[in-house]
Every structure is written in C-alpha cells, then in structure tokens.
C-alpha cells in the first residue's frame, strides 16, 4: 500500500513541476512591457507661421491645454511611465510647462486658489519626463534616433502631438493591446479618402481580425494612383529597439530628411508588423483648418464653456 501511495505522490509532484515549467515558458514568451514613449517636438512648425516663429507649435493651446499635454495625458492613461521629449532650439517652453513652477504655485497658494494649484501641480507630477536635443530638424526618423540612449534596449511608443485623438479607450492603449497579443511593432492607421493619402504613409495589408492588419508593405506619401490602399499611417507607433539600426542605415531623402516610414519598411523585411484601425476621432492639429476644427469640437466638450459656446455657434447660422 505504501508503494502505491509513494507512486501517486511522485506523480502529483511530477505534474506540479510540469505545470510550473509550462507557466515559466508562457512568461518567457510574454512581450517586454512598453514603459517609455518618445515625443518628437523639434520641428520648425512652418505650417503655423508666424505664430510658431518664437513659440513651439506643440505649445499651441487647444482650448485650455497645449497640444503636447493632450498626448502626454494619453500616454499616461495608457500605462506609460517615462516620457522622452525630443526638443530643439526655441523649445524651452515645453520643458517649463512640465516642470515645477514654484513662483506660480506660491502665488496660487497665497491667494487661496486651491483648484488652480492642484491643476498646475498635476502637470508636473504627471510623469517622469526626460529631454534630448535634436540639433537639426532632419526628419521624424532622425528625431526618434536621438532618443536611442534614453530608450535603451526596450520596446517603446512614439507619439506625435500633431495628431490629437479623442477616443473612449486611449488610442495608444489600443495599439499596446495588439502589441501584447502579437509581440510585434504596431502602427496606428485610419482610412482617408482620395488625394489625401498623398500626405501620409500608406499601407499594404492583410486583415487578420476586425480592425487589425498584418502589414505587407508601406509607402511614404505616394501619389494617389500609386497608393496600395486608403489606410494611412497616423502618429502613434509601438516600435522595437531594432528600429534604431534601421534608422541609422536609412538613406536621407531629397531634402536631407530621414523618414521613419523608410526605416520601418526595412525592418518589415525582417519581422512582422501590424497596424490598428483605432476607434476614435483624429484631428490634424498640425494644420490650421484641422486645429480650428479641433478647437470647436473640444470647446463643445468643455463643461464650463459648452453652453455659452454652443449658443454662440448657433448665432452664426446666418454666415
């Protein structure tokens, strides 16, 4: 009898060992967590001249917050812990915005403006923010490359403040969910109509599930007739650290810029890439008309401004 019990005991122990090994194997295959996000912010903002001659485009106010704050808030809401902002000359206002403002906080405290004090302090406490300089504006790929030392050997997000995305689930979170499922780089995409595709990178894809695509090829700003689809790359990316070598090996274009689409296309030959047709509304805040549209839409969502602003807009029907 003891022999039978001993055999049963050994079988149970063996099963437990096998279960633990299986669990460890599953853990070993889990993709590395994305903790960092890179925010290229060294561009010259020429589409908004003269407003951006001395002020960063990223600090243009959409109702009552600068553009870059909307995107940093999206990153934090998606689980990002470390924010890396790539800046250049004339961009010190960005650093000041996310820093502690002792003088302003002291004034607000003395005047008993507790709500404003909390609002201001929340900005500096939002995330751990680091900065790196891009000495020349040589394209998005070059800007991302400047963050290589701060990113290290980790997957990371890239977020462009030109693209403001209003969605129930943060757009970056939607990309992260796909990254965690497929353990591969992911880009955001949306459908655009007609000639507009020539302003974006365009994707050639196979749909693998609703709204999720396996990327076969990508083309930077194609002529409408040459576009492989109407799916455009939008300013949210999850990239793996091997992208840095591809950026380094990418030949600059005609005006000396290194495009991230070219580097991703090279990496696509070596590993799988996915795209997510995100749920939400995207506003092109890097364009004057898009910025105005976003201002109206976000103004109508602002709880303090909405009633009077809506009434004002109704009064303009005669225009």
End-to-end CA separation in angstroms for the chain: 96
Question: What average pLDDT does range 294-308 have in this prediction?
Answer: 94
Q: In a 10 Å sphere around its CB, with 0-12 CB exposed, 13-18 middle and 19+ buried, how is residue 289 labelled?
A: exposed
Sequence-distant (6+) residues with CB within 8 A of 40 are 86, 134, 140, 143, 144, 158, 160
pLDDT for 113-131, tens place per residue?
989 899 889 998 888 999 9
pLDDT tens, position by position, 10-44? 666 666 665 655 545 444 568 899 999 999 998 88
Structure confidence at residue 9 as a pLDDT band (50, 70, 90): low
Is 158 buried (19+), middle (13-18) or exposed (0-12) by CB count in 10 A?
Answer: buried
Q: What is the pLDDT of residue 280?
A: 94
Say how many C-beta atoms besides its own lie within 10 A of residue 246's C-beta.
21
Which is nearest to 282 in space by CA: 149, 156, 189, 184?
189
pLDDT of residue 256: 85
**Measured between alpha carbons, how far is 300 from 316 in angstroms, rounded to an integer?**
15
What average pLDDT does this structure show over 83-87? 96
pLDDT greater than 90 at residue 170: yes
Cα of 299 vs its chain's centroid, Å: 23
pLDDT tens, position by position, 132-144: 999 988 899 999 9
pLDDT in tens, 42-67: 888 888 888 888 889 999 999 999 99
pTM value is: 0.86
Q: Which element (helix H / strand E) includes 213? A: strand 212-220
Distance (Å, rounded) from C-alpha 80 to C-alpha 47?
30
Residue 158 has, within 13 A of its CA and on its CB side, a CA count of 29
- Cβ proximity of 247 and 156 under 8 Å: no
3-class secondary structure for 84-144?
A: EEEECCCCHHHHHHHCCCHHHHHHHHHCCCHHHHHHHHHHHCCCEEEEEECCCCCCHHHHH
Give the whole-angstrom CA distance, residue 22 versus residue 187: 31
The DSSP code sequence of 23-57 is: HHHHHHTSPPP--EEEEE-----GGGTTTTSSS-G
Q: What is the Cα gyration radius of the chain?
A: 24
Work out the average pLDDT over 64-86: 96
Higher pLDDT, 21 or 208: 208
């Amino acid at each position: 009898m003891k022999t039978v019990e001993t055999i049963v005991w050994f079988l149970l122990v063996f099963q437990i060992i096998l279960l633990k090994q299986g669990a460890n194997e599953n853990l070993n295959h889990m993709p590395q967590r994305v903790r960092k996000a890179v925010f290229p912010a060294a561009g010259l903002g020429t589409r908004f001249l003269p407003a951006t001659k001395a002020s960063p485009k990223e600090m243009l106010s959409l109702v009552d917050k600068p553009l870059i704050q909307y995107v940093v808030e999206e990153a934090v809401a998606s689980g990002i812990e470390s924010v890396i902002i790539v800046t250049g000359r004339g961009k010190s206002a960005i650093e000041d915005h996310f820093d502690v403002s002792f003088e302003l906080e002291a004034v607000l405290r003395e005047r008993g403006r507790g709500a404003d004090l909390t609002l201001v302090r929340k900005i500096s406490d939002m995330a751990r923010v680091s900065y790196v300089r891009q000495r020349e504006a040589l394209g998005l790929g070059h800007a991302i490359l400047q963050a290589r030392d701060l990113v290290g050997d980790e997957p990371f997000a890239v977020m462009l403040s030109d693209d403001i995305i209003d969605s129930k689930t943060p757009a970056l979170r939607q990309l992260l969910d796909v990254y965690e499922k497929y353990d591969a780089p992911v880009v955001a995409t949306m459908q655009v109509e007609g000639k507009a595709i020539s302003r974006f990178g365009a994707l050639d894809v196979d749909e693998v599930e609703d709204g999720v695509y396996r990327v076969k090829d990508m083309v930077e700003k194609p002529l409408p007739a040459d576009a492989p689809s109407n799916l455009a790359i939008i300013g949210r990316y999850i990239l793996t650290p091997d992208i840095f070598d591809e950026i380094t090996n990418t030949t600059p274009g005609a005006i000396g810029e290194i495009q991230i689409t070219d580097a991703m296309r090279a990496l696509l030959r070596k590993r799988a890439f996915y795209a997510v047709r995100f749920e939400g509304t995207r506003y092109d805040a890097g364009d004057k008309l898009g910025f105005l549209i976003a201002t109206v839409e976000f103004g109508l969502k602002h709880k303090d401004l909405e009633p009077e602003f809506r009434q004002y807009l109704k009064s303009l029907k005669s225009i």
